[in-house]
């Protein structure tokens, strides 16, 4: 084997490990995680790796390394007690000190290269007060101590905040990456391959819509036995307003039969807004719970057309006068009380516990024909879709463990949300450790048992 050992210290579901494998054509030699479920998923994809289900502070890696050289160590300590997503909630001291486990193993193993990944707020890591909140005037104090300690071992250090979409992943996940090396070689940062607009010599960001299973559009939001939650109804209404009615270029599904967008199941930052996005963009950061809903608005021809306008033009002034293209009406009926509607260009009105919305009338112009929204479908994104949007290869196994036991959807999503974006691990390892490459990654064999005969791919 060319070079020394490769260790993934916080292996999880295997995002960093598969990225390393994509870069070097070899599986990591040792993977450590305290969670048996995470190790079993990792083992399903990396069967040749030595898996250690142990506490990262307590594990004796020297026992397994046996004096051999460690060429690369990847470390992605739990970021939840550093992330801004934590808001004003108290932090957990035990999670915030996890980077010191990296120092502990670096001191005993002295790997040639150490790559770390975390949220950008790690740079503000400092002491907590008695209630578990960061002390403002001491921000960054512990971070600086940690970096100084790593340098004291003889490591060169550099760090950057990188956006995964700039390197070809269909997610805008932004993370802090650090490279430490003591082999006499320079730290190298990969050059971006994409940008938001595709300007210059770079490609345009990947569309997350390319990774949606369009054979499954979910089911209608109307007539459900269990009505959608009020907040979900409001998100859909505001999303249609934001991403379809007020958007000159809605995301078109199939042969112009529908428009689609994503809603996020997070609290909106202001009334009447919709947290979500177009499918022409990379998906925003995926977390450990399923927070993305796919909304598809089906359209059908409206046969009382006017003159209209071309779709390549900016929308003409909206009027109700004859001879002009116009958005005639767009509102939702509330199925309670008087049934009065409201315009979609206003914030959604008061929501009651028995609130049901029905779309009344929206006219759109497409290539000289007028269309009307006829139905609205909703479903959550699937783990397989989230996996691809996070940058995992299609063959990566997330639905079952090494023993063939099925994972529930919640655990699949949690593994994806906790994972390193594999594309980023690949790019960083290619840039700094290309001399360790021995070949190309071998995809996992997939078994298709949907037909009368088994198929292997």
Residues 374 and 405 in one domain: no
Look at residues 320, 353, 381 and tell me which one is the last residue of a structural domain.
Answer: 381
Domain assignment present for residue 88? The answer is yes
Same domain, 157 and 183: yes
Cβ contact 47:14 at 8 Å: no
Is 448 a member of any domain?
yes
Together in a domain, 255 and 267: yes
Count: domains in the chain: 2
Residue 287 forms part of a structural domain: yes
| 248 & 311 share domain | yes
User: Does residue 314 share a domain with residue 274?
Assistant: yes
From residue 391, give the alpha-carbon distance in Å to each of 208, 385, 410, 422.
10, 10, 19, 6
108 with 159, same domain: the answer is yes
CB burial of 15-39 (b: ≥16 within 10 Å; e: otherwise) equals: bbbbbbbbbbebbbbbbbbbbebbb
Element (H, E) at 57: none
Does the residue 174 lie in any domain?
Answer: yes
The answer to whether residues 284 and 417 belong to one domain is: no
Does some domain include residue 423? yes
pTM score, whole prediction = 0.83
One domain for residues 241 and 296 = yes
Q: Give the C-alpha separation, 255 to 240, whole Å.
A: 20
Q: 185 CB contacts (<8 Å, ≥6 apart)?
A: 432
378 touches 295 (CB < 8 A): yes
Q: Following DSSP, what letter does each residue of 173-233 receive, concatenated? A: -EEEEEEEE-SSPPP--PPP-EESS--TTSEEPPPGGGGS-TT---EESSS-SSPPPHHHH
Q: Which residue in this structure is represented by tokens 């819509």?
A: 209
Determine how many CB atoms are found less than 10 A away from the CB of residue 323: 8
- 4: Cβ–Cβ under 8 A, 6 or more apart, which residues? 68, 69, 70, 71, 72, 112
Within-domain flag for 212: no
Task: Decide if 214 is inside a domain.
Answer: no
Using a 10 angstrom Cβ sphere, with 0-12 exposed, 13-18 middle and 19 or more buried, the burial of residue 182 is: middle
> What's the CATH number where 30 sits?
3.40.50.150
Domain span at residue 426 reads 5-204+384-456
Distance, in Å, from the CA atom of 364 to the CA atom of 269, rounded to the nearest integer, reads: 29
Rg (CA), the chain: 25
Tens of each residue's pLDDT in the chain, 457 residues: 467 999 999 998 899 999 999 999 999 999 999 988 889 999 999 999 999 999 999 999 999 999 999 999 999 987 665 555 545 555 566 667 889 999 999 999 999 999 999 999 999 998 888 887 888 999 999 999 999 999 999 999 999 999 999 999 999 999 999 999 999 999 999 999 999 999 989 999 999 999 999 999 999 887 778 888 877 877 887 888 788 878 888 898 877 788 899 988 876 556 656 678 899 999 988 887 778 899 998 877 765 533 333 333 333 332 222 222 222 233 344 433 333 333 434 443 443 334 444 444 456 777 777 777 777 889 999 999 999 999 999 999 999 988 888 989 988 988 888 899 999 999 999 999 999 999 999 888 655 555 666 554 4
* 395 lies in the same domain as 451: yes
> Are 128 and 230 part of one and the same domain?
no
Q: Report d(CA 240, CA 294) in Å as an integer.
A: 12
Which residue among 357, 381, 405 closes a domain?
Answer: 381
Q: Are 15 and 415 in contact (CB under 8 A)?
A: no
Positions of E strands within 16-89:
30-32, 50-52, 70-75
Q: Is 70 helix (H, G, I), strand (E, B) or coil?
A: strand
402, 339: one domain: no
* Final residue in a domain of this structure, among 337, 352, 381: 381
Q: Are residues 299 and 411 in the same domain?
A: no
Q: Is 185 inside any structural domain?
A: yes
Residue 289, φ and ψ in degrees, nearest 5: -120, 155
């Amino acid at each position: 084997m060319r070079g020394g050992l490769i260790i993934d210290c916080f292996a999880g579901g295997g995002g960093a490990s598969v990225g390393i494998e994509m870069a070097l054509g070899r599986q990591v030699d040792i993977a450590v995680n305290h969670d048996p479920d995470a190790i079993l998923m990792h083992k399903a994809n990396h069967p040749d790796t030595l898996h250690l289900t142990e506490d990262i502070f307590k594990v004796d890696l020297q026992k397994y390394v046996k004096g051999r050289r460690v060429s690369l160590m990847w470390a992605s300590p739990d970021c939840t007690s550093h992330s801004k997503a934590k808001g004003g909630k108290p932090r957990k001291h035990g999670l915030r000190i996890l980077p010191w486990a990296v120092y502990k193993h670096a001191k005993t193993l002295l790997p040639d290269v150490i790559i770390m990944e975390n949220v950008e707020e790690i740079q503000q890591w400092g002491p907590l007060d008695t209630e578990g909140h960061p002390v403002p005037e001491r921000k960054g104090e512990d971070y600086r101590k940690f970096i100084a300690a790593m340098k004291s071992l003889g490591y060169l250090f550099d760090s950057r905040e990188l956006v995964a979409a700039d390197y070809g992943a269909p997610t805008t996940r932004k993370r802090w990456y650090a490279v430490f090396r003591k082999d006499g070689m320079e730290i190298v940062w990969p050059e971006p391959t994409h940008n938001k607009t595709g300007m210059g010599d770079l490609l345009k960001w990947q569309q997350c819509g390319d990774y949606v299973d369009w054979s499954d559009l979910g089911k209608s939001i109307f007539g459900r036995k269990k009505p959608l939650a009020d907040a979900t109804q409001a998100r859909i209404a505001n999303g249609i307003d934001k991403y379809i009615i007020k958007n000159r270029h809605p995301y078109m599904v199939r042969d112009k039969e529908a428009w689609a967008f994503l809603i996020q199941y997070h609290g909106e930052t202001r009334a009447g807004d919709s947290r979500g996005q177009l499918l022409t963009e990379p998906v925003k950061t995926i977390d450990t719970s399923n927070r993305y809903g796919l909304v598809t608005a089906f359209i059908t021809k409206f046969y009382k057309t006017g003159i209209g306008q071309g779709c390549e033009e900016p929308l003409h002034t909206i009027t109700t006068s004859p001879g002009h293209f116009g958005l005639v009406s767009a509102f939702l009926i509330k199925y309670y009380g008087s049934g009065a509607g409201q315009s979609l260009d206003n914030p959604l009105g008061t929501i009651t516990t028995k609130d049901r919305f029905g779309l009344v009338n929206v006219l759109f112009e497409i290539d000289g024909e007028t269309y009307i929204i006829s139905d609205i479908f909703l479903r959550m994104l699937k783990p397989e879709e989230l996996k691809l949007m996070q940058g995992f290869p299609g063959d990566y196994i997330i639905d079952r463990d090494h023993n063939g036991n099925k994972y529930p959807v919640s655990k699949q999503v949690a593994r994806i949300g906790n994972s390193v974006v594999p594309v980023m691990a690949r790019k960083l390892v290619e840039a700094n450790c290309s001399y360790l490459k021995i070949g190309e990654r071998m995809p996992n064999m997939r078994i298709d048992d949907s037909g009368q005969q088994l198929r292997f791919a």
